Amino acid sequence: MHVPIDYDTLRVIWWALLGILLIGFAVFDGFDLGTAILLPFLGRSDMERRILINSIGPVWEGNQVWFILGGGASFAAWPPVYAASFSGFYVAMFVTLLALILRPVAFKFRGKVDNALWRSVWDWALFIGGLAPALIFGVAFGNLLQGVPFRFDAELRAVYTGGFFQLLNPFALLCGLVSVAMLVMHGAAYVQAKTIEPIAGRARRAGMIASIVTLVLFALGGVYAYSMLDGYAITSQIAANAPSNPLRKTVEVATGAWMRNYERFPWSPAAPLLGLVGALLAAVMFALRREVAAFVMSAASVVGIVATPGLAMFPFIMPSSSEPNASLTAWDASSSHLTLYVMLIAVVIFLPIVLAYTAWVYRVLRGKVPSHIFEPGGHAY
């Protein structure tokens, strides 16, 4: 079958699509996770906690599809990345899945027994279901920036050479805190827009604090990455349109190497700038009680923060700290030319449908959580 798009172009397209899916997950499912983290603190009574739960109840399942799409895209478009990451981060992925499984169980079981202790247990289960993925995803990004300890054997099978607690290093934990603060900010913006007083006022105050914390922690991470973090750079020729083989290149490790893309692509500093300015403007919009503007600014900050490491690392997707030459890049870790093309056709057809349906759902569900859903015979959680 003749493929009208060059292999190297398809690889860049799919690198960008993977980034878009991760950003979509952070923006859409991010406010779900942030709301769950805030649940025990913003809801002072059972009714207030029910309002918070029902603010995300109609949309959380659809939002989580972005996570599934991201995992499916990495499996189909970047098989070596999928294999190495799910092997190296196995325990972290398992904990994440357990936390995500807690969410639907807590949503459904919380109202089954009219008992304060019973409901409190499930409220804290929702809190864990929000906090654990937010923290772990940030820690994962921190470890990607430092390099993951893996190598390939003679048969190109990924072998993880590190341990679980090795992933919990200071920089990775800093990235985890950035992720948690970022999603708390985004969740607070959503809660403020979807609830009435006094919940909205508490969310406003939490959002202002989380916005400033996000700004400070993200800036600290940038300073650390610029001055102390070792980055990776390809020093040999690499055929961008050749069949995938991650062992046909030479990679050097040097402090500040991740900053070279900002010199190579003058537009790329827009991502960290968006992360910083978005968080700052979100804090201002919270203070001014501009609900929609606060949500837009927090979403912009999320986009910038998630895009920053992706743009800094390009073309690396998963660098190896054990064997830098085995690092996985956009040029040598993809599926075949034909596979990427057929998948792109599917994306062009179905992604607009998904986006159109998502837009319609949010339009239908716009506005504050109505009180009538809690009347007898209603369908509220």
Q: In which residue ranges of the chain is pLDDT below 50?
A: none
Give the integer Cα–Cα distance in Å for 41 and 203.
Answer: 9
DSSP state of 148: B
Predicted pLDDT of residue 197: 87
Q: How many CA atoms lie within 13 A of 133 on its CB side?
A: 28
Predicted pLDDT of residue 1: 64
In DSSP terms, 329 is beta-bridged to 316
Please give the C-alpha separations between residue 324 and each of 63, 165, 244, 248, 250, in angstroms, as whole numbers. Answer: 36, 21, 16, 12, 8
For residue 315, whether the previous peptide bond is cis, meaning omega lies within 30 degrees of 0, is yes
Q: Which of 300, 168, 308, 302 is nearest to 225 (CA)?
A: 308
- How is the chain split into domains, by residue range? 16-237+248-374
- 278, 300 Cβ separation under 8 angstroms: yes
Predicted pLDDT of residue 173: 95
pLDDT tens digits, one per residue of 268-320: 899 999 999 999 999 999 999 999 999 999 999 999 999 999 999 999 999 99
> Coil, strand, or helix at residue 234?
strand
Phi and psi at residue 147, to the nearest 5°: 100, 135
Predicted pLDDT of residue 63: 85
Is 292 buried (19+), middle (13-18) or exposed (0-12) by CB count in 10 A?
A: exposed
DSSP state of 5: S
Predicted pLDDT of residue 262: 85
Phi-psi region of 54 (alpha: psi -120 to 50; beta: other; left: phi over 0): alpha
Give the integer Cα–Cα distance in Å for 372 and 47.
Answer: 13
Predicted pLDDT of residue 339: 92
- Percent residues over pLDDT 90 in the chain: 51
Give the integer Cα–Cα distance in Å for 364 and 366.
Answer: 6
